[in-house]
Chain A
């Protein structure tokens, strides 16, 4: 068992002919992801890494069984391409694109919700099932199979922690990056719920950051519904107020959203609080 995808998931890549799309497709395929088709408007009938490319999602789904998609489409075309995917019945989409206009993001998320599709992102690094497959940009060598479920806002921080866990011999079941916000399709809470139900996941690592109130809401859920051990690391303790440090979601405005408020809420919910990745290793081994 695993969450969101598995080794048999058949994947469509949107924006497969771009620089990132092409390289990441190559890495994913090599890792074992079953990529069956790609879409780039105007580039139909080409091939990338031996994978057929279509002009429309409809053409791809007519010719292949597809269960999930990943998008590398640039911001101006992101909404259009997400709607096209959902409209064609694909129920899970990793949206890696950052800097999509807010009005578009809100429509993408609402549309997915209306049609019962799940979006990981925007601005998501995707997810990796170590040793099996990956739908995203996680560097393969930093992860190994095991029983820790990791959910992070930041992609890079999920690599950082994965790397430390792996170097210390601790494997992971699934590592998920939901994106830096301020809008999210799937939230920490959604992922935690999946980890709670997943047999393979014995322990959960939650990597949060300042800004917004998502961690506070997640804490409430942990308290009520999660009985697996949760280890949490919140970054941005020393970040200045009112300034964005990269992730649009990571701005502290007012008292809500500070590292302190999040740490307190999580500790109160019974989570173990770590200060850095080494701490996580120690807590896992305890």
Chain B
């Protein structure tokens, strides 16, 4: 789960990382008694809002409401501005980059520190490799003193103790919140010390079982901002379905990511186009099969559906049950083509045969049939 800046900064505050004082303005709030100067920052989950004009400074010479309304009319990378964080303005002497995330290739947490921070960090990381420093962290030992001393020296930090406390706090948040990223970009050096100007915190959805209250609270906050009518506090998802809308006329469902990717390639090669792709993931049962079919079939551009099943964990008797339920309850006349093999395939095939649903052993044949049917319809 990606957090908004204001949510991230709430956490920063709790862990003693200095942030500017400020308040949140919602879309329909009545705004009055503002004191300049203020930094007005659109609260968005997409990156690059600064460059897209999502951050404005109000110096008191113009109408603050006008700026606020302008920000609320913005849509950046498809995301509408629905909340603005108004912050006191601070004098910035220097900006640095600081984050802790995972180096996935090496299966280890990593501290990343940059001599200069700001909007162009990605660009400058590519161009000036010597200005970015990476320190691998042992998950059992945590971040060590000498490692912090090392980066502090590299990027020439004067106030070491304060810097160390911030890095320790960032690591603590990273660990305790099951974060996959805690980023401060920029971390400003001001006449009165360090200030986290921005906050980017991503939490691991897979860890939600041990942070149920936190996830619910953060989600409710997000839904309030996104103006969603219904606030649901139930668990985020019980299944492991991945749904990807594409553009074409074939619905594709697979019980494995690898075969799904491969079938997608195969359909392309044979001249077909996939409208949407549904990968059922690790926890697969008849209900997941049913839901996947429902999801894929709800797209009206879908003219035929290909279900690719090759079960190890996944049981073909369960899959057949899900397919039959879909046929029976939704009775859609979209043609379904099935490639079915693996665990309990005899039972699954028997069930399909009884229901007169064609099952193929060869993936290539199933792909060809599906494409042909989509073209006819």
Query: Does any Cβ of A come within 8 Å of B244's Cβ?
Result: yes
Given A125-B312, A156-B312, A238-B264, A106 and B107 touching (CB < 8 A)?
A: yes
The closest CB in chain A to the CB of B281 belongs to A246
Q: Taking the complex as formed, is B73 at the interface, i.e. its CB lies under 8 A from any CB of chain A?
A: no
- Residue in B138, B266, B268, B341 whose beta carbon sits within 8 Å of that of A142 in the complex: B341
State which of B178, B204, B257 has its C-beta within 8 Å of the C-beta of A246: B257
For A183, give the chain B residue with the smallest CB separation.
Answer: B107
Most buried by A among B256, B279, B363, B364: B256
* B259: A residues at CB distance < 8 A: 154, 156-157, 160
The distance from the CB of A240 to the nearest CB of chain B, in whole angstroms, is: 6
Contact residues, B247-276 vs A (CB, 8 A): 254-262, 264-269
The answer to whether B209 has its CB under 8 Å from any CB of chain A is: yes
User: Given known contacts A102-B102, A137-B313, A276-B262, is B244 in contact with A240 (CB within 8 Å)?
Assistant: yes
Complex interface: chain B residues within 8 A of A249 (CB): 104
Partner of A156, one of B175, B207, B254: B254
Contact A99 B240 (CB under 8 A): yes
Contact partners of B166 in chain A: CB under 8 A: none
B262: A residues at CB distance < 8 A: 157, 160, 235-236, 276
7 additional contacts (CB under 8 A) given A100-B206, A110-B108: A24-B313, A139-B310, A139-B345, A209-B258, A214-B105, A237-B268, A250-B261
Kindly state the separation between the CA atoms of A237 and B140 in the bound complex, as whole angstroms: 38
Judge whether B207 and A154 touch: CB under 8 Å: no
Take A102-B102, A139-B343, A155-B258 as given contacts and tell me if A160 and B310 are in contact as well, using a CB distance cutoff of 8 Å: yes
Is there an interface contact between B206 and A99, defined as CB atoms closer than 8 Å?
Answer: yes
Q: How far is the CA of A27 from the CA of B240 in the complex (A)?
A: 25
Bound-complex Cα distance A233 to B240 (A) = 26
Q: Report B-chain residues with C-beta under 8 Å of the C-beta of A99.
A: 206, 240, 282
Residue among A76, A103, A247, A276 with the highest chain B CB neighbour number at 10 A: A103
**Residue A32 interfacial (CB < 8 Å):** no
> What are 6 A-B pairs with beta-carbon distances under 8 A?
A76-B209, A101-B204, A137-B312, A209-B257, A212-B104, A245-B244
Tell whether A109 is near chain B: CB-to-CB under 8 Å.
yes
The answer to whether B261 and A209 touch across the interface, beta carbons within 8 angstroms, is yes
**Interface status of A262 (Cβ within 8 A of chain B):** no
Q: Does A11 contact B (CB under 8 A)?
A: no
Residue A268 CB within 8 A of the other chain: no
Whether the Cβ atoms of B261 and A139 lie closer than 8 Å is: no
A residues in contact with B310, CB < 8 Å: 139, 156, 159-160, 163
> B242 interface residue, CB < 8 Å from A?
yes
Instruction: Write out the residue numbers on chain B whose beta carbons fall within 8 Å of the beta carbon of A144.
Output: none
Taking a contact as CB atoms closer than 8 A, the residue among B104, B210, B342 that contacts A159 in the complex is B342
Q: Which residues in B have their C-beta under 8 angstroms from that of A163?
A: 310, 341
In contact, A237 and B265 (Cβ under 8 angstroms): yes
Closest CB in chain A relative to B100 CB, distance in Å? 12
B124 within 8 A of A: no
Nearest chain A CB to B257 CB, angstrom units: 3
A239 touches B264 (CB 8 A): yes
Output the least CB separation between B115 and chain A (Å): 22
**How many residues belonging to B are interface residues under a CB distance threshold of 8 Å?**
51
Q: Tell me the complex Cα distance, A152–B312, Å.
A: 14
Query: Residue A116 at the B interface, CB < 8 A?
Result: no
User: Which of B105, B256, B262, B363 is most buried by chain A, counting CB atoms within 10 A of its CB?
Assistant: B262
Contact A110 B343 (CB under 8 A): no
Cβ of A20 within 8 Å of any chain B Cβ, yes or no, is yes
Q: Nearest residue in A to B316 (C-beta to C-beta)?
A: A139
Interface residue A41 (Cβ < 8 Å from any Cβ of B): no
Residue of A nearest to B312 (CB): A137
Q: Is the CB of B261 within 8 A of A235?
A: yes
**A110 near B140 (CB under 8 angstroms)?**
yes
Segment 244-271 of A: residues with Cβ below 8 Å from B: 244-247, 249-250
Once A160-B259, A163-B341, A235-B258 are accepted as A-B contacts, the answer to whether A20 and B313 lie under 8 Å apart by CB is: yes
**Contact of A171 with B by CB under 8 A:** no
Specify which chain A residues have a CB less than 8 angstroms from the CB of B255 in the assembled complex: 156
- A197 close to B (CB within 8 Å): no
- B117: interface (CB < 8 Å): no
Contact B341 A240 (CB under 8 A): no
CB-CB under 8 A for A183 and B258, given A75-B209, A160-B363, A238-B264 = no
**Contact A244–B242 (Cβ < 8 Å):** yes
Query: Which residue, of A27, A76, A101, A137, has the highest number of chain B Cβ atoms within 10 A?
Result: A101
Does A207 sit within 8 A of B, measured CB to CB? Answer: yes
A111, chain B: closest CB distance, angstroms: 8
Is B138 in contact with A110, judged by CB distance below 8 angstroms?
yes
- Report whether B105 and A212 are in contact in the complex, using a CB–CB cutoff of 8 Å: yes
In the bound complex, do residue B311 and residue A139 qualify as a contact, i.e. CB atoms below 8 Å apart? yes
CA distance A154 to B283 in the complex (A): 15
Distance from B183 Cβ to chain A, minimum over Cβ atoms (Å) = 16
List chain A residues, Cβ under 8 A from B342.
139, 142, 159
Encode B318-354 as 1/0 by CB contact (under 8 A) with A: 0000000000000000000000011101000000000
Residues of A within 8 A of B206 (CB): 75, 99-102
Neighbouring A residues of B315 by C-beta, 8 Å: 23
A248 to B254, CA, bound (A): 16
A220 to chain B, nearest CB (A): 13
Instruction: Name the contact of A250 in the complex, choosing from B175, B257, B265 (C-beta under 8 A).
Output: B257
CB of B139 within 8 Å of the partner chain: yes
Is B108 within 8 A of A245, CB to CB?
no
Interface centre among B107, B139, B268 (most CB of A within 10 A): B107
Considering only residues 169-210 of chain A, those with a C-beta below 8 Å from chain B are 180-184, 207, 209-210
**Is B12 positioned at the interface, with any CB of A under 8 Å from its CB?**
no
On whether A246 and B242 interact (CB within 8 A), knowing A154-B257, A159-B312, the answer reads: yes
Q: Are A106 and B341 in contact (CB under 8 A)?
A: no
Does B180 sit within 8 A of A, measured CB to CB?
Answer: yes
Residues of A within 8 A of B246 (CB): 240
